[in-house]
Amino acid sequence: MTKKTDSNYVEWQDNFTTIAKPYSKYNNDNDNTTSICISALNTKFADISEYNRIGLDLPTWININDKKPTIMFVAQDPLRSEYYDTCHDIIVSSPFGVQDKEHRNSRHGEVYFSIFSELVENGYGVYLTDTNKFFLKSENSTNFTKNNIQNYDEILRQEIEIVNPEIIVAFGKQAQHSVSKIDGDKRILYLIHPSGAARGHIKKEYDTFDCSNKKIAEIYISKVLSLLTK
């Protein structure tokens, strides 16, 4: 990603790992995805291969510099769609699919990248990560998360220590709770997760009839910048 932010899965396969591969449903050159799939069997989490729809987002740091501070954005987990219901490999991407140009310009990805890119254009660093490092889908997936929550918390604690962000933006209540537990409340900015499912809550919270991606991005950027300039 440091060489090219718009890599497709074939280029990821060549540069990321020898065991990376496209999901089997991508069976022709016209298929497109922001993700690659890696077998869980050769990792320390081999037991998760019993689950399906296993999501993993690689934490992503954009515009690392010493001139302006970094804003950390934290979401709950690397959610994966029902498209992967029959996939038992680890489905790897970046938070919000920011490495994929087509996804950044789609109705699903536009709002996120509009926020991040505006902050980067203003010189700030942007760090993206999840509180729960895996998204799993199966009957016992909740137990897996509960059993690994201390590991997840420790990883997030180390991320916060390394990045040392000026502000930690929590997308959603679960992310807010996790960050608060680890780092306290002094530098958290809670924002409703800007997903399509939460648009009704956003309208009510910010008293706006316009709930377009552009409007939400404007509101959220304003709230972040207002804290940074205090």
Q: Could you give the CA distance from residue 17 to residue 43 in angstroms, rounded to a whole number?
A: 13
Helix (H, G, I), strand (E, B) or coil at 36: strand
Please state which of the ranges 23-27, 67-71, 198-202 shows the lowest mean pLDDT.
Answer: 23-27
Minimal CA–CA distance to 23: which of 54, 1, 47?
Answer: 54
Average pLDDT over residues 21-33: 60
Average pLDDT over residues 167-186: 95
pLDDT digits (tens, 9 = 90+) for 40-56: 887 878 888 888 889 99
- Backbone φ, ψ for residue 189 (5° rounding): -115, 110
Please state which of the ranges 1-5, 112-116, 183-187 shows the lowest mean pLDDT.
Answer: 1-5
Question: Which CATH number is associated with domain 9-228?
Answer: 3.40.470
pTM beyond cutoff 0.75: yes
Please state which of the ranges 30-39, 65-74, 149-158, 183-192 shows the lowest mean pLDDT.
Answer: 30-39
Three-state DSSP string of 169-204: EEECHHHHHHHHHHHCCCCEEEECCCCHHHHHHHHH
Average pLDDT over residues 24-47: 71
Identify the sign of the CA torsion 133, 168, 16, 21.
positive
Q: Could you give the CA distance from residue 16 to residue 10 in angstroms, rounded to a whole number?
A: 10
Q: How confident is the model at residue 70 (pLDDT cuts 50, 70, 90)?
A: very high
Minimal CA–CA distance to 63: which of 171, 165, 190?
Answer: 165
Q: According to the per-residue pLDDT averaged within each range, which of 7-11, 77-81, 175-179, 210-214 is highest?
A: 175-179
Q: Could you give the CA distance from residue 214 to residue 196 in angstroms, rounded to a whole number?
A: 13
Question: Which structure tokens are listed for 19?
Answer: 């065991």
The whole-chain average pLDDT of the chain stands at 85
Degrees to nearest 5, angle at CA 132 with 128 and 133: 70
Q: What is the pLDDT of residue 159?
A: 96
Q: What is the pLDDT of residue 180?
A: 96
- In DSSP notation, 44-107 reads TTGGGGGSEEEEEEPPEEES--SSS-EEEEEES-----GGGTT--SEEEE-GGGTT-HHHHTST
Question: Which structure tokens are listed for 51?
Answer: 């689950």
Average pLDDT over residues 75-95: 88
Strand partners, 38: 90
Q: How many CB atoms lie within 10 A of CB 191?
A: 23
Q: Could you give the CA distance from residue 212 to residue 218 in angstroms, rounded to a whole number?
A: 10
Q: How confident is the model at residue 161 (pLDDT cuts 50, 70, 90)?
A: very high
Q: According to the per-residue pLDDT averaged within each range, which of 8-17, 92-101, 126-135 is highest?
A: 126-135
